[in-house]
Amino acid sequence: QVHLVESGGGLVQAGTSLRLSCTASERTFNNYAVGWFRQAAGEEREFVGAITSSGSTLYAESVKGRFTLARDNAKATVYLQMDSLKPEDTAVYSCARDVTDLGTTYQAIYDSWGPGTQVIVSS
């Protein structure tokens, strides 16, 4: 069972950037899509973006043009670069594995969820 760990969260001001990392415990991770999701306090978890093993990406409309996904297979890590952050981006961000490698928005497809990392964007 692969384990995923997120890192890079923190408290930042609106308009600035953060880069989150999702690192896997084994390199079979490189054969699968990885999705990022976020959950704000009192809200449902929502899709942020996904990247397939070949590097194809899909983004939620709310982050398109501001967030960018990339992966470093040598490090078994997927990065979520978040630019032009807004207060409404405040949430716990989690990554998960998609063994179908579709990179879908459908949460039920994903497994091996990481514990999450908190992002707080102040206005």
Banded pLDDT at 89 (limits 50, 70, 90): very high
Give the separation between CA 87 and CA 65, rounded to whole angstroms: 17
Q: Which pLDDT belongs to residue 28?
A: 86
Q: Which two tokens stand for residue 36?
A: 């990022």
Q: Which pLDDT belongs to residue 5?
A: 97
pLDDT in tens, 11-65: 999 999 999 999 999 988 889 999 999 999 999 999 999 999 999 999 999 999 9
Q: Which pLDDT belongs to residue 83?
A: 98
Q: Which pLDDT belongs to residue 61?
A: 98
Q: Which two tokens stand for residue 76?
A: 């078994």
Amino acid found at 20: L
Distances (CA, A) of 121 to 15, 25, 31, 111: 9, 29, 33, 28
3 state SS for 56-70: CEEECCCCCCCEEEE
Asked if the model's pLDDT at residue 1 lies above 90, the reply is no
pLDDT in tens, 91-111: 999 999 999 999 999 999 999
Amino acid found at 103: G
